């Protein structure tokens, strides 16, 4: 999907994690969140408010064009336009919860994964495991060195 694009990773003053600069385009932002608990709970947690500062946060405040929600140990991700995610959250009657960590300052919405899987405009992406990614990287490196294409 991103072949030929320049990807800048990290926080650069905006509220997203990836800035993609495809050839001949102005670029776009992707906010990435990792929800390890979602794989076992069956719910995705979407942060919408910083309770300490009393202001919108997470998906409610992002300036990114797209939202990426990595699930569990990173084998799968939800990917959608940020506006589409906000519309889904606004239209549903979902449970609102506060986080319970020692430094708890987040309020969010729990959305069942099974329900999200039925929604239009959301892509579910299988992500490579570490072994799959590095196996492919090593295979391509070996092929480049030997001049053999093992595909």
- Average of per-residue pLDDT values in the chain: 83
User: Is 139 a domain residue?
Assistant: yes
User: Is 37 a domain residue?
Assistant: yes
In the predicted structure, residue 141 carries a pLDDT above the cut 60: yes
Among 1, 2, 123, 129, residue whose Cα is nearest residue 68: 123
User: Is 71 a domain residue?
Assistant: yes
User: Is 46 a domain residue?
Assistant: no
User: Is 52 a domain residue?
Assistant: no
User: What integer pLDDT is reported at residue 96 of this predicted model?
Assistant: 92
Choose the most confident range, by mean pLDDT, from 6-15, 61-70, 131-140.
61-70
Alpha helices of the chain — where are they, by DSSP H?
A: 38-41, 82-91, 113-116, 130-146
pLDDT single digits (tens) 91-115: 988 999 988 766 678 899 999 999 9
User: Is 126 a domain residue?
Assistant: yes
User: Is 104 a domain residue?
Assistant: no
User: Is 107 a domain residue?
Assistant: no
The boundaries of the domain holding residue 62 are 6-41+58-95+112-143
pLDDT single digits (tens) 54-81: 899 889 998 888 999 999 888 899 999 9
Q: Return the exposure string of 73-88: e unless at least 16 CB atoms fall within 10 Å of the residue's CB, then b.
A: eeebbbbbebeebbeb
| CA pair distance 149, 130, nearest whole angstrom | 22
The domain tally of the chain equals 1
In the chain, the percentage of residues whose pLDDT exceeds 70 is: 80
């Amino acid at each position: 999907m991103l072949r030929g694009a320049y990807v800048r990773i990290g926080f650069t003053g905006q509220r997203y994690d990836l800035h993609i600069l495809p050839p001949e385009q102005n670029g776009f932002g992707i906010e990435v969140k990792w929800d390890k608990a979602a794989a076992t709970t069956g719910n995705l947690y979407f942060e919408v408010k910083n309770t300490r500062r009393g202001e919108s946060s997470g998906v409610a405040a992002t300036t990114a064009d797209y939202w990426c929600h990595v699930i569990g140990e990173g084998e799968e991700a939800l990917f959608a336009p940020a506006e589409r995610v906000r519309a889904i959250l606004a239209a549903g009657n979902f449970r609102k919860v506060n986080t319970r960590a020692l430094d708890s300052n987040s309020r969010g919405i729990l959305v069942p994964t099974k329900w999200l899987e039925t929604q239009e405009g959301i892509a579910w992406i299988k992500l490579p495991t570490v072994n799959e990614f590095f196996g492919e990287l090593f295979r391509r490196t070996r092929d480049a060195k030997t001049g053999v294409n093992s595909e």
